[in-house]
Amino acid sequence: MFFDNASTTRIDDKIVSNIVKLNNEHYYNAGALYSSGRESKAIISKAKDSIKAFIGAGSQDDLIFTGSATEANNLALFGFVKKNTKKILVSMGEHPSIYNVAMELKNRGCDVEFIKLDKNGKVDEEDFVSKLSRDVDLISVMHVSNETGAINDIARLVELAKDENPNVVFHCDGVQAVGKIDVDVDSLGVDLYTMSAHKIHGMKGVGALYVRKGVTLKPVIFGGGQEGGLRSGTENLLGIVSLENAVEMACSNIDKNYLHISGLKKLFLNSLANTGLKYVVHSSDLASPYIVSLSFVGVRAETLLNMLDDVGVMIGNGSACSSKNSGNRILEAMGVSKAEVESNVRISFSRFNTEEEVVKLVDCIKTCVVSYLQKV
């Protein structure tokens, strides 16, 4: 049973058959001049328009396909920063693909400040406002936390930021939001927005960066000049179409899936409450139901993960996208105690999970935690 869907998801069967067919019919390089190459180009262009429509982008706005959301995040920050960039604000809750870029920019001499989190894992609005100034050129705040599911009020943060400096560029990492909660880049007011295919049942190795008309970026990858020169490299046609399909499937069923996942989260928490186990939940009621972060205090997360794995249950710990880097930075920024950080695990659902699985998950957790506590 797979409950680590914030780290990746199984590709939807319909997407698999679609890309297999596409591979036979349209493997041609989109840069080639013959008609089959032009067809590949048209397929990519259609995917771009379709994704843009689902996220509320205007026809003049751009969408740059990349090799991952990590790359899209790198492009957003490194691509924006110029010699005259004065100040950058980044939230403490960001995924390493933003946080580590911000640290690198700091090392290279940029003025980077980190915005505090509140106890629910959202950006602390007071701290955010106190750091705004006319010198802030770029802000990066994620939409939904991959650690806790905390949802930032991006529209409000953008409004506050643009009130202070109308020229500030606002980037938002929407990897855990697209297809799961409503995303409309226009009403959010963001200038740059990142997404990834493999978090919503598309292929791994493909992401995209929405770029509002008028925002200029420099490439970070140089080569043949694909994607308007912003992302060189032969286009990953199959991956791009898998992203298009994944966005379409998730966004067209967003309410139905949300209801299903909310039901799973409720069932999980209610069943857990009946086990008599001691635990602390770090995800608030207002968080995305797709992610539940919790700690079984006194039970080392890694050991619990291994015990569950032995009985066929996969869950996450910390930032499971790179499990070597624990999520301590984020939980600590929320004020979570060391003991709770050490015992922190993450359950993340997908539309493929069932109620039956959730009941089994809780049973397995109970057995493993009880057996762990008996041994210590």
What are the catalytic residues? Answer: 321
Among 62, 173, 340, 342, binds ligand PLP (CB under 6 A): 173
The residue (of 99 and 279) whose beta carbon lies closer to ligand PLP is 99
For residues 62 and 76, what is the distance between their CA atoms, to the nearest angstrom?
13
Q: State the DSSP string of 289-335.
A: TTEEEEE-TTS-HHHHHHHHHHTT-EEB-SSGGGTTS-THHHHHHTT
Scanning residues 191 to 230, which ones bind ligand PLP (CB under 6 A)?
Answer: 196, 207
Other CB atoms within a 10 A radius of the CB of residue 310 amount to 10
Closest approach, Cβ 372 to ligand PLP, in A, equals: 28
Two structure tokens written together for 54: 């689902």
CA distances from 19 to 10, 30, 236, 351 (A): 14, 16, 11, 21
CB distance 87 to 111 below 8 Å? yes
Q: Which stretch binds ligand PLP (CB under 6 A): 65-73, 83-91, 235-243, 279-287?
A: 65-73
Closest approach, Cβ 147 to ligand PLP, in A, equals: 9
Residue in the block written with tokens 């262009």: 45
In terms of phi and psi (left: phi > 0; alpha: psi -120 to 50; beta: otherwise), the region of 276 is left
Among 123, 175, 247, 362, binds ligand PLP (CB under 6 A): 175
Mention every residue, 6+ apart, whose C-beta is less than 8 A from residue 354.
none
Closest approach, Cβ 276 to ligand PLP, in A, equals: 33
Q: Which stretch binds ligand PLP (CB under 6 A): 66-74, 105-113, 271-279, 341-349?
A: 66-74
321 binds ligand PLP (CB under 6 A): yes
Among 40, 70, 74, 226, binds ligand PLP (CB under 6 A): 70
**Dihedral over alpha carbons 313, 318, 319, 324 (to 10 degrees):** -90
69 binds ligand PLP (CB under 6 A): yes
Closest approach, Cβ 127 to ligand PLP, in A, equals: 20
287 binds ligand PLP (CB under 6 A): no
Binding site for ligand PLP (CB under 6 A): 68-70, 95, 97, 142, 146, 173, 175-176, 196, 207, 321
